[in-house]
Amino acid sequence: MSDNKVALVTGASRGIGAAIAARFAREGWDLTLSSRGRDALEQKASELRELGAGRVEVIPADMTDQDAVATLGTAHAEAFGRCDALVINAGMGQKGPIADLPVRRFDRLYEVNVRAPYVLLQSLLPVLRSTASTAGAAKVIAIASITGVYPEPELSAYGATKAALISLCETFNLEESDGGVSATTIAPGYVDTDMSEWTKDAIPGDQMITVDDVATVAHTVTELSRYAVLPNVVLTRPGANLHRA
């Protein structure tokens, strides 16, 4: 078992996941990085080692492949023997009105944004429990969306999957938090990432929440004791946008 704190971060090669991994790296954490592409992960792993990360493992996984997701959790447990933070960040977005959005796109959103986190929680739960029993606490941090809390036009399918993720983590807390394992969902409005490119003609990137804002919240969650459960954090943009993405 590693003597360092250890995190598994999905969707770690870019955007919010990369920012969270970098924040942990600066604190000397060991890391497992996952996303679909090995080359981008290897490059990111090299960068994180230079930032101060300890051991960094790379495990590519497609979040639509249930077996690959389960294997990711098992491989992390075998590599490190502990998991102080499971960061569920990998996700996908889809825009379209309810009248027109093909159901097959909703199904794919559900696969990536809800089913994969469920499988990963099941796969990692034994090592999360054992880590909490020895280290005091283990945290699950799931990146949701403000659209899972407040509705947004043309984001019904995406928002529905993020609402489901929030509900999943709330129930997880009821079942597991007495043992020191708890989950926090972070529900931001538009974050300045590639996923928000489609709306940057209306909302400039420099007026969006930053990836470092989200990373700061994620890292803060890992500093809470087992007796502090933070179910959901909503990050909004300023002004009249408080209940809008």
| Cβ atoms 44, 12 nearer than 8 A | yes
What angle separates helix 15-26 from helix 38-51, to the nearest 10 degrees?
30
Catalytically annotated residues:
158
User: What are the structural domain ranges in the chain?
Assistant: 6-232
The pLDDT of residue 242: 86
Residue range 180-208, pLDDT digits in tens: 999 999 999 999 998 898 889 989 999 99
- Maximum CA extent, the chain: 53
Cα angle for residues 43, 82, 234 (degrees, 5° grid): 70
By C-alpha distance, which of 187, 182, 181 is closest to 164? 187
pTM of the entire predicted model: 0.96
d(CA 14, CA 187): 18
What's the CA gap between 231 and 171, in Å, rounded? 10
> What count of other Cβ atoms lies within 10 Å of the Cβ of residue 28?
12
Residue the block writes with tokens 């093909």: 102
Indicate the class that CATH gives domain 6-232: alpha beta
**One pLDDT digit (tens) per residue for the chain, 245 residues:** 678 999 999 999 999 999 999 999 999 999 999 999 999 999 999 999 999 999 999 999 999 999 999 999 999 999 999 999 999 999 999 999 999 999 999 999 999 999 999 999 999 999 999 999 999 999 999 999 999 999 999 999 999 999 999 999 999 999 999 999 999 999 999 999 988 988 899 899 999 999 999 999 999 999 999 999 999 999 999 998 889 99
* 144 bridge partner residues: none
Q: Strand order in 6-10's β-sheet? A: 56-58, 30-34, 6-10, 85-88, 138-143, 181-188, 232-235
Q: With pLDDT > 70 as the criterion, what percentage of the chain qualifies?
A: 99
